[in-house]
Amino acid sequence: MIRSGAVSCAFGVFLFFQGIFMSIKALQPIKPGRGSKTFRDPAKAVQRIREIYDRHVAYLRECFERFCCKDSFSSDHVAACYPYIRFKTNVMPSVDRRLSYGFVTQPGVYETTVTRPDIFDHYYREQLALLCENHSDARIEIGVSTIPIPLHFALGEDFYLEGQLSAEKLEALPALFDLPDLNVIDDRIADGIHLREGVGSGAQPLALFTAPRVDVSLQRLKHYTGTSAEHFQNFVIYTNYQFYIDEFVRHGMRLMAHTEEPELAKSRSAYTAFVEPGNKTTHNANLKGGMNAEGFPRIEGGNMNRIPQMPAYHLKKANGSGITMINIGVGPSNAKNITDHVAVLRPHAWLMLGHCAGLRNSQQLGDYVLAHAYIREDAILDDVLPLSVPIPALSEMQVALAAAMMDVTGLEDYEFKKMMRTGTVASVNDRNWELHDQNQLMWNFSQSRAIALDMESATIAANGFRFRVPYGTLLCVSDKPLHGQLKLPGMADEFYRERVDQHLKIGILAMEKLCAMGKERLHSRKLRSFTEVAFQ
């Protein structure tokens, strides 16, 4: 980040690499309500989105550079707005009833604001193509909305705006530029609040998240994980232990290493790069351009000076269907925080892969728990997702996880039950739950038939349900407090050595199976509400 007082020079270099040295006159943004165009071709529609977005962002950046570099600046408010997508249909759709997205259920007008076509280009084209395919009279209108682009979001996730300005300019900033507005950054569509309050203009939402909501999450992802949103993959694994991350890094580096064995090289070449916090990128030495002069994987960037709060690592594929792994730490607050933001990237699945307390005497340390129900005692989502709402197990996730466990362990049928148990997982918000009244705890667990307890799984599953992201949970028993086996240093170390590698292999293989299944089958109709948006 730029920290010095040489704002003009440093920020000028930043703007140069963005390719936006143009005159203010040439960059005047298209005003809301003007310049709208109608398309039938999704690719051309997305190209129009890019043109509008790039022009408006470039205008904001140029104006901000002038504001930074000059003692005086015009008092006129600088305004630039997000592009919008408006979709109109007058006929009832006739679509494959197995689909869970890609169509609207009633004739009408549907719209959303959009952002960052550099990240969402493929996603927008795919969603618009489905609308055109499923609606014979589909017309896609692209134009300029009335929702302003906040300056913070236009400058990008690598620029700390407040760190560059004097106190006087910080005071003048709100009068000249639009800043983030919490009145339009919310989850009203995902939570169904817009249905109760009405939509005002008559247009129904086309997507779960508006552009400002997406932008704030892209910024937060960089802050919390240390990697840019562009690196996140469609299959996400969450863990609550660094041991899993360490093994994931070793696995990623093995895949990037060059090999002379044709079959092994072909297998490794499915993944193009491995990205660590700080956007440090290790390229696959088995692919063209991925090897350096010494025969090792080519590396771009370096390590961060400090580890971020929830570091993320990305095993990338060219089509984005690789695997991202995030160490979310401990607790339901962290679990909600990170899933709130990952959700805007519209992943195809996420999985909790961590440790739990085994609650049954028949369980042993190192046994696996495949959650098929959740007790939500975390209290983190109760206001937006009442406890009366069940969080169902998704068959696609369950089948993939069970198959991956059988493949990795080599166990089948009845023998498989020796080390894996399906059942209810309870998630709490107190790490020292063992210190509560044991009689009450035993009664609660017995009545619910719970087999395991942790602090994150129910939160991740509930937010997956809430945001229509397929979810699953595979835990490993690391202690049994109710039976005198507490998580103590020596016991934990032995457990980690024996189980982490196998557990991670199961998680990775399950994600690869889900990827092979195809997103059309994976995105379940169970997660869609009565009145649902068309975008996945």
From CA 440, how far away is CA 442, in angstroms rounded?
A: 6
Strand ranges inside 359-444, DSSP E: 368-377, 420-428
Structure tokens at 325: 């792994």
Q: What is the DSSP string of 464-514?
A: HHHTT--EEEEEEEEEBGGGTB---HHHHHHHHHHHHHHHHHHHHHHHHHH
What is the rounded CA–CA span in Å between residue 436 and residue 452? Answer: 17
Q: How far is CA 158 from CA 214, 219, 222, 223, 255, in A?
A: 16, 9, 8, 9, 29
Specify which residues 354 forms β-bridges with: 475
Domain positions in the chain: 7-221, 226-327, 353-525
Q: How far is CA 271 from CA 43, 287, 510, in A?
A: 26, 9, 16
Q: Which helix (H) or strand (E) holds 395?
A: helix 395-409
Neighbour tally for 149: CB within 10 Å = 26
This prediction has a pTM of 0.90
Q: Which residues of 17-41 are buried (b: 16+ CB within 10 A; e: fewer)?
A: eeebeeeeeebebbebeeebeebee
Q: Which of 328, 265, 324, 321 is nearest to 297 (CA)?
A: 265
89 touches 107 (CB < 8 A): yes
Whole-number Å distance between alpha carbons of 204 and 198: 9
Per the CB < 8 A criterion, the answer to whether 248 and 325 are in contact is: yes
What is the DSSP-derived secondary structure letter of residue 213? H
- Contact (Cβ atoms closer than 8 angstroms) between residue 536 and residue 346: yes
State the DSSP H helix or E strand holding residue 281, giving kind and residue range, or none if neither.
strand 280-283
Counted residue by residue, the chain has a size of: 536
Domain 353-525 architecture:
3-Layer(aba) Sandwich (3.40)
CA angle (64, 69, 71) in 5-degree steps: 110
Q: What is the DSSP letter of 136?
A: T
Q: Which of 466, 462, 475, 470 minimizes the C-alpha distance to 240? A: 475
pLDDT digits (tens, 9 = 90+) for 222-259: 999 999 999 999 999 999 999 999 999 999 999 999 99
Say how far apart CA 299 and CA 527 lie, in whole Å.
40
Please say whether the dihedral angle defined by the alpha carbons of residues 59, 64, 69 and 72, taken in this order, is positive or negative. positive
Under CATH, which number does the domain 7-221 receive? Answer: 3.30.1730.10
The pLDDT value given to residue 65? 87
> Residue 289 gets which letter from DSSP?
T
- Nearest partner of 531 among 211, 129, 87, 208, judged by Cα: 208
Sheet containing 204-205: order of strands = 37-39, 139-148, 81-89, 108-113, 204-205
Q: Which residues of the chain have pLDDT under 70?
A: 1-27, 71-74, 160-163, 195-201, 432-433, 435, 437-439, 441, 481-497
Report the alpha-carbon distance of residue 113 to residue 83 in Å, rounded.
Answer: 6
Please state the CATH superfamily assignment of the domain spanning residues 226-327 in this structure. Answer: Nucleoside phosphorylase domain (3.40.50.1580)
Domains 226-327 and 353-525 share a fold: yes
